[in-house]
Structure 1
Amino acid sequence: MNRAAIIVAGGRGARMGSPIPKQYLEIGGKPVLMWTLEVFYQLDPSIKLVLVIPEVDFSFWQELCQQFGFTVPHEVVAGGMSRFQSVKNGLNSISWKDGLVAIHDGVRPFVSPEVISLGYDKAAEYGSAIAVTPLKDSIRKLTDENKSFYQERQYFRLVQTPQTFDLKMIKQAFDVTELHHFTDDATVFEHQGRQVYLIAGNYENIKITTPEDMEYAQFLLHRRKGD
């Protein structure tokens, strides 16, 4: 079955406090985004990689690829004004009628190959596969009256990417007007009345957003080299 991965990297890095968007910052000697693309390519070189970035970044990304000798095959697609529109543009660039597609945040370079592979396997079986992890901390629910209430954490999960889908189903799901509660691809899929299937993610699969995340990313790379 055809397999694709849409890597979405449209952030401008406001919380990082850097003039360079976070996806282009270096960790371990190369930009974050290159690490992310390599995980999918090293798992299976036949996976069609679609990189969605702002169109204004095209030339900058090309310069980075030349500078770092980055040769992983991928197609570059222009992002939209929102994540929803960016993913939709990525989906529209895939001409296949049937297949599987993993949608992944470009600033999650530490997703494990096992999670990616499991996502494709379960999406082929159930139509979707959403990577999640259990909560480690206690949680409380806030109210508009400035009160809070204890919640049973075993009933909640932290949502990661990749979120993997049957291609035909997810294209159909994105063929709608964008709504405010579309916080990720799973919520778009659910809007069609479908149930999402959850799979175990990996705790190292952090979304690099702040300077502290960059420090932890360096630690993860150092530990990986040690292993």
Structure 2
Amino acid sequence: MSKINLIIPAAGTSNRFQSIIPKQFHVLNGKTILEHTLSAFKDIQLEDCLIAVNKNTEEKVHDILEKISFSARTVRGGDTRAESVREAFYEAKESDITLIHDAARMCLTRPLIERVIEAAWRYDAVIPAIPVTDTIKKVQKDRVIKTLTRDDLVAVQTPQAFKTASLRRAYENYYDKSITDEASLIENAGNAVHIIKGESDNIKVTYPLDLEYVRNYIKKNNNNN
């Protein structure tokens, strides 16, 4: 049987969120953002799930896992997201596919997860993405130096999926702790990254204003159910 691992980096302190509580532990509709995120994976058959934490949040994550009866292990994360994912990757059990998903990206759906996994059997790396709708400009200090063509740009989401063997080779030969996602690592290794259609609701909670969006998302889903 094919084996799928899930890694969720949740060790960050959420500086941009402007709260003493990291965003993944902010409560919405009686559940933390991390609970909402994990719930999306509850019916996905996983070989192993690793959640990267820091020493101040490890106990809270264990409490959440017990509360929602979700099978996962914790691992101490590093100073950056990239380091946290790498620590979890090497701690995880052997697998065929490795999924990596942001702890604060709680509005994903099971169909998206399944489409990412399905594509991962055919490609070394798969990322969901949506078209960029804003005009994007390249700047230097306070000057615009170039307007980029939107037709060539996408906004990347998670979960991202990788053939585990390919990701391991990339870690061994091309790792850079400054990378912002593991797809960049695969790019550094010279391998292709395949894009599938993401979901517009699948936002990452980054700023306090994002909370209103996800509250409306929860309300909409509750009304539909």
Whether TM exceeds 0.5 here: the answer is: yes
Deviations 1:108-128 (A, max 9, x none): 011121221111111110111
* 1:162-201 mapped onto 2 (5 Å cutoff): 162-176=159-173, 178-179=175-176, 182-201=179-198
Matched to 1:20, the amino acid is: I
Matched to 1:7, the amino acid is: I
Task: Please name the residue that 1:24 is paired with.
Answer: 25
Aligned partner of 1:209 among 206, 211, 217: 206
Query: After alignment, is 31-40 or 175-184 more displaced?
Result: 175-184
Per-residue deviation at 1:81? 1.4
In structure 2, what is the Cα distance between the partners aligned to 1:181 and 1:75? 25
Matched to 1:185, the amino acid is: E
- CA 1:147–1:19 in 2, change beyond 3 Å: closer, same or farther? closer
- CA 1:154–1:56 in 2, change beyond 3 Å: closer, same or farther? same
Conserved? CA contact 2:83–2:177, under 8 Å: no
- CA 1:85–1:176 in 2, change beyond 3 Å: closer, same or farther? farther
Task: Please name the residue that 1:59 is paired with.
Answer: 59
Q: Give the 3-state SS of the residue equivalent to 1:219 in structure 2.
A: helix
The question of 1:160 aligning with 2:161 is answered no
Query: After alignment, is 173-182 or 50-59 more displaced?
Result: 173-182
Task: Please name the residue that 2:6 is paired with.
Answer: 5
Q: Give the 3-state SS of the residue equivalent to 2:16 in structure 1.
A: coil
Conserved? CA contact 2:8–2:50, under 8 Å: yes
Deviations 1:150-195 (A, max 9, x none): 3321111001111100011112212247536512111111111111
In structure 2, what is the Cα distance between the partners aligned to 1:126 and 1:163? 12
In structure 2, what is the Cα distance between the partners aligned to 1:16 and 1:108? 14
Percent identity over paired residues: 26
Conserved? CA contact 2:65–2:72, under 8 Å: no
Q: How well do the aligned residues superpose, as a CA RMSD in angstroms?
A: 1.9
Aligned partner of 1:70 among 63, 68, 71: 68
Conserved? CA contact 1:51–1:74, under 8 Å: yes
Q: Give the 3-state SS of the residue equivalent to 1:172 in structure 2.
A: helix
Deviations 1:32-56 (A, max 9, x none): 00111110123x2445322111133
Task: Please name the residue that 2:35 is paired with.
Answer: 34
Per-residue deviation at 1:61? 2.3
In structure 1, what is the Cα distance between the partners aligned to 2:55 and 2:186? 26
In structure 1, what is the Cα distance between the partners aligned to 2:28 and 2:47? 24
* 1:89-104 mapped onto 2 (5 Å cutoff): 89-96=87-94, 98-104=95-101
In structure 2, what is the Cα distance between the partners aligned to 1:23 and 1:211? 12
In structure 1, what is the Cα distance between the partners aligned to 2:174 and 2:182? 14
In structure 2, what is the Cα distance between the partners aligned to 1:160 and 1:78? 24
In structure 2, what is the Cα distance between the partners aligned to 1:156 and 1:5? 27
Q: Which segments of 5 or more consecutive residues in structure 2 lack a partner in the other structure?
A: none
Matched to 1:77, the amino acid is: V
Per-residue deviation at 1:145? 7.9
Matched to 1:161, the amino acid is: T
In structure 2, what is the Cα distance between the partners aligned to 1:144 and 1:16? 24
- CA 1:76–1:152 in 2, change beyond 3 Å: closer, same or farther? same
Give the TM-score, by structure 2 length: 0.91
In structure 1, what is the Cα distance between the partners aligned to 2:69 and 2:142? 55
Conserved? CA contact 1:131–1:161, under 8 Å: yes
Query: After alignment, is 193-202 or 179-188 more displaced?
Result: 179-188
Conserved? CA contact 2:35–2:64, under 8 Å: no
In structure 2, what is the Cα distance between the partners aligned to 1:34 and 1:14? 21
Runs of 4+ in 1 over 4 A off after TM superposition: none
Task: Please name the residue that 1:83 is paired with.
Answer: 81
